[in-house]
Amino acid sequence: MKLTILFGGASFEHEISIVSAITLKEKLGSFDLSFIFCDGDHQFYLIEADKMKATTFSKGAHKKMPLLTLSNGAFVQKSMFGSKEHTDLVLNLIHGGDGEDGTIAALLDFYSIKYIGPRKDACTFSFDKRFTKYLCEALGIKSVDYEVFYKNEQKNLNFSFPVIVKPATLGSSIGVSIVKDESGLDYAFDTAFEYDDVVIVEPFLEGVKEYNLAGFMANAEMHYSIVEEPQKEEFLDFEKKYMDFSRSERVREAELEVELVNKLKTNFEKVYRGLFEGALIRCDFFVVNSEVFLNEINPIPGSMANYLFEDFEASLTLLANDLPHRKRVGVSYEYIHSISQAKGK
């Protein structure tokens, strides 16, 4: 299958996206892959497969590679001898801002480029943690209690310590702090507000079990990965998650009762159906006293959560063959013509 991996973007997770793309290059060995890099200035470059190395980007070597523009249905490579269109299916692998906030989804939709990834409305509810909470409330899915704080406003915390402080629109544990007493709260807020103007605070749940489940819909049926129980200390910090994005070896399935697995899948489907069609997502859940709480939606998980699937290539092919079709509205000017004729002009 031909597939173009789109990665990079102008966000705090730019480097993580590069790591994910390099990992998928190795994981999708049977695919006919090409790579398009979006740099921090929103320029698109066609990257040679053998140049898919971290140093290509850190040293700026990508700037010597073909520059691409967008046209209806394709990325276009222009040269002295004409232009070449790259019309392969695109996999949106841009993490964080640009990729997960709906910007790239809107751009690809605007140019009628077929892609795997969350659509812009799905991005709205998964990128901002406030809106994920609102989605949970609307769908009847449990989530951890929370308070919202805004930059330069007075902060009166109602929760008891310990708490976890998070930027509202950042992933990969960037800017996240666990605060165990009052003395650490101001520093945690200052850290989070360096990345975002909105911060979420939740009570830190001691001894909570956490489980990750990925999946997608194809042929009107949900397809799930195994359930993983992440091995971690208090939480996965940025360094651990950075390494986590390069995972390619399949992880061990969590040993869970069938009833709990079914609860996780039921909550996953509530999140996914009617909103995330066309995407492979991962949901991270907390379990407390057999009750399931949605912690986070990962609309573009690190390395596409390949390590959770028994046959990742087959899963991605299945999804690619059943993507939603966005019908473009035809423009006819019939109304203007009728008015002109009526006026004799």
Is 337 within the bounds of a domain?
A: no
Assess whether pLDDT exceeds 70 at residue 185. yes
Same domain, 197 and 251: no
Assess whether pLDDT exceeds 80 at residue 268. yes
Assess whether pLDDT exceeds 90 at residue 241. no
pLDDT tens readout for residues 84-130: 999 999 999 999 999 999 999 999 999 999 999 999 999 999 999 99
Q: Which of 203, 232, 248 is the last residue of a domain?
A: 203
Same domain, 111 and 175: no
Same domain, 101 and 132: no
| Residue-level pLDDT at 244 | 58
Is 334 within the bounds of a domain?
A: no
Range of the domain at 291: 123-142+207-320
Question: How far is C-alpha 110 from the geometric centre of its chain's CA atoms?
Answer: 19
Q: How much is the average pLDDT of 225-246? A: 67
pLDDT tens readout for residues 206-229: 889 999 999 999 999 999 999 999
| Residue-level pLDDT at 88 | 96
Q: How much is the average pLDDT of 158-172? A: 91
Is 233 within the bounds of a domain?
A: yes
Question: How far is C-alpha 97 from the geometric centre of its chain's CA atoms?
Answer: 9
Same domain, 161 and 198: yes
Is 53 within the bounds of a domain?
A: yes
Lowest mean pLDDT among 3-7, 133-137, 166-170: 166-170
pLDDT-derived band at 345 (thresholds 50, 70, 90) equals low
Q: How much is the average pLDDT of 135-153? A: 96
157-170 burial, b at 16+ Cβ within 10 Å, e below that, comes to eeeeeebbbbbbbb
Is 277 within the bounds of a domain?
A: yes
Residue 18 CB-density burial (10 A; 0-12 exposed, 13-18 middle, 19+ buried): buried
Percent of the chain with pLDDT over 70: 94
Lowest mean pLDDT among 55-64, 76-85, 252-261: 76-85
Is 339 within the bounds of a domain?
A: no
Please report the beta strands in the chain, taking only residues with DSSP state E, as ranges in sequence order.
2-8, 32-38, 44-47, 67-71, 74-79, 82-86, 90-92, 115-116, 147-150, 163-167, 177-179, 198-203, 209-218, 221-228, 281-288, 291-298
Q: What is the number of structural domains in the chain?
A: 3
Question: Rounded to whole angstroms, what are the CA distances from 204 to 158, 161, 297, 324?
Answer: 13, 8, 18, 39
For residue 216, the cross-strand partners are 223
Mean pLDDT score of the chain: 93
**Could you tell me the pTM of the whole model?**
0.92
Same domain, 155 and 227: no
| Residue-level pLDDT at 330 | 84
